[in-house]
Amino acid sequence: MGTDTTLVAIAAVYSVASDGLDAYTVVFSAGGVGTYLLGVLLKVPSRVRCNLAALSQRHLIVTAFAREIGLIEADAYRAIGQARKRETCSERRKDVEASALEIRAATGTAINRIQKHCKDRD
């Protein structure tokens, strides 16, 4: 039994014990019980739980993707800085191309994870 239902039962018992049920108690009790039953019938708690789980999965995937891109960028900047010291353009180009390929791979991995783990569950 939920908190709303318990409060409704307490209000009804109090009203009966004092002077009987008045119209306000009946209306509010029916509204509270109706809302509770509607929520249970429509599986609202289950849907909220599933939606929060899906949102958490998406958040973790995007966070991991952003961190992976950050590491790739840091490595690329470091490689470019070292290549500048040696003044070799061909090495810079290879480092940039390698970093671009890593970013494409990371993007593809993130997209695959979202498609695999974050399907609609309804």
pLDDT tens-place string over residues 27-36: 777 777 788 7
- pLDDT of amino acid 47: 82
Using DSSP's 3-state secondary structure scheme, residue 22 falls into coil
Pair 40, 5: CB distance under 8 Å? no
pLDDT tens-place string over residues 22-61: 677 777 777 777 887 788 788 888 888 888 888 888 888 8
pLDDT tens-place string over residues 63-73: 888 888 888 88
Q: Count CB-CB contacts under 10 A for residue 8.
A: 20
Compute the distance between CA of residue 19 and CA of residue 21 in angstroms, rounded to an integer: 7
